[in-house]
Structure 1
Amino acid sequence: MAPGGIINKEEIESRIAYLDHDTGHPATSNAELRGSPFRKAATPSTGNPGKQSTSNMQDLLDCPVCFTIMYPPIFQCPNGHTLCSHCRARVKNSCPICRGELGNIRCLALEKIAESIELPCKYQSMGCCDIFPYYSKPKHEKNCKYRPYNCPYAGAECSVTGDIPLLVKHLRNEHKVDMHDGCTFNHRYVKSDPREIDNATWMLTVFNCFGRQFCLHFETFHLGMSPVYMAFLRFMGTEDEAREFSYSLEVGGNGRKLTWQGVPRSIRDSHQKVRDSQDGLIIQRNLALFFSGGERQELKLKVSGRIWKEQ
Structure 2
Amino acid sequence: MPNNYLLLLAVCPEYMAPGNDYMEVPVISGEEDDVSVSISDADSKVGISVTRKAGGLPTSSVHELLECPVCTNFMYPPILQCANGHTLCATCKARVHNRCPTCRFELGTIRCLALEKVAESLELPCRYHNLGCPELFPYYTKGKHEAICTFRPYNCPYAGSECSMVGDIPTLVAHLRDYHKVDMHNGCTFNHRYVKSNPQEVENATWMLTVFNCFGQYFCLHFEAFQLGMAPVYMAFLRFMGDDNEAKNFSYSLEVGANGRKLSWHGVPRSIRDSHQKVRDSHDGLIIYRNMALFFSGGERKELKLRVTGRIWKEQ
Quote the residue 1:298 is aligned against.
303
Quote the residue 2:229 is aligned against.
224
Structure 1 position 306, deviation (Å):
1.3
Given the alignment, which residue of 67, 71, 74 partners 1:66? 71
Q: CA–CA distance in 2 between the matches of 1:93 and 1:187?
A: 58
Q: How many residue pairs end up in the alignment?
A: 269
SS at match of 1:289: helix
Runs of 4+ in structure 1 off by over 4 angstroms are 3-6
Asked if the contact 1:197/1:222 (under 8 Å) is kept, the reply is no
RMSD: 2.3
SS at match of 2:174: helix
Q: Which has the larger radius of gyration?
A: 2
Unpaired runs of 5+ in structure 1?
7-42
Quote the residue 1:184 is aligned against.
189
Structure 1 position 231, deviation (Å):
0.8
Quote the residue 2:271 is aligned against.
266
Quote the residue 1:150 is aligned against.
155
Residues 2-37 of structure 1: per-residue CA shift (max 9 Å, x gap) = x9979xxxxxxxxxxxxxxxxxxxxxxxxxxxxxxx
Structure 1 position 258, deviation (Å):
1.4
Quote the residue 2:291 is aligned against.
286
Q: CA–CA distance in 1 between the matches of 2:94 and 2:214?
A: 47
Given the alignment, which residue of 83, 88, 108 partners 2:93? 88
Residues 156-202 of structure 1: per-residue CA shift (max 9 Å, x gap) = 21111111111111111111111111111111111111112246342
Pick which of 86-95 and 133-142 moved more. 86-95
Asked if the contact 2:68/2:88 (under 8 Å) is kept, the reply is yes
Given the alignment, which residue of 119, 125, 130 partners 2:130? 125
Q: CA–CA distance in 2 between the matches of 1:125 and 1:148?
A: 11
Residues 242-280 of structure 1: per-residue CA shift (max 9 Å, x gap) = 111111111112222111121111111112222222211
SS at match of 2:219: strand
Distance 1:199 1:139, change over 3 A: closer
Given the alignment, which residue of 52, 58, 63 partners 1:54? 58
Distance 1:296 1:96, change over 3 A: same
- The structure with the greater share of residues assigned to helix is 1
Asked if the contact 2:154/2:168 (under 8 Å) is kept, the reply is yes
**TM-score normalised according to structure 2 size:** 0.78
SS at match of 2:205: coil
Pick which of 289-298 and 193-202 moved more. 193-202
**TM-score normalised according to structure 1 size:** 0.79
- Which letter maps to 2:182? V
Quote the residue 2:46 is aligned against.
none
Asked if the contact 1:52/1:131 (under 8 Å) is kept, the reply is no
SS at match of 2:94: helix
Structure 1 position 152, deviation (Å):
0.8
Q: How does 1:11-26 map to 2 (within 5 A)?
A: none
SS at match of 2:64: helix
State the identity as a percent: 72
Q: How does 1:201-212 map to 2 (within 5 A)?
A: 201-212=206-217
Q: CA–CA distance in 1 between the matches of 2:197 and 2:214?
A: 32
Asked if the contact 1:289/1:299 (under 8 Å) is kept, the reply is yes
- Which letter maps to 1:236? M
SS at match of 2:121: coil
Asked if the contact 1:260/1:280 (under 8 Å) is kept, the reply is yes
SS at match of 1:156: coil
Asked if the contact 1:239/1:266 (under 8 Å) is kept, the reply is yes
Pick which of 135-144 and 67-76 moved more. 67-76
Quote the residue 1:249 is aligned against.
254
Distance 1:259 1:89, change over 3 A: farther
Q: CA–CA distance in 2 between the matches of 1:270 and 1:281?
A: 17
Q: CA–CA distance in 2 between the matches of 1:89 and 1:227?
A: 45
Asked if the contact 1:57/1:117 (under 8 Å) is kept, the reply is no
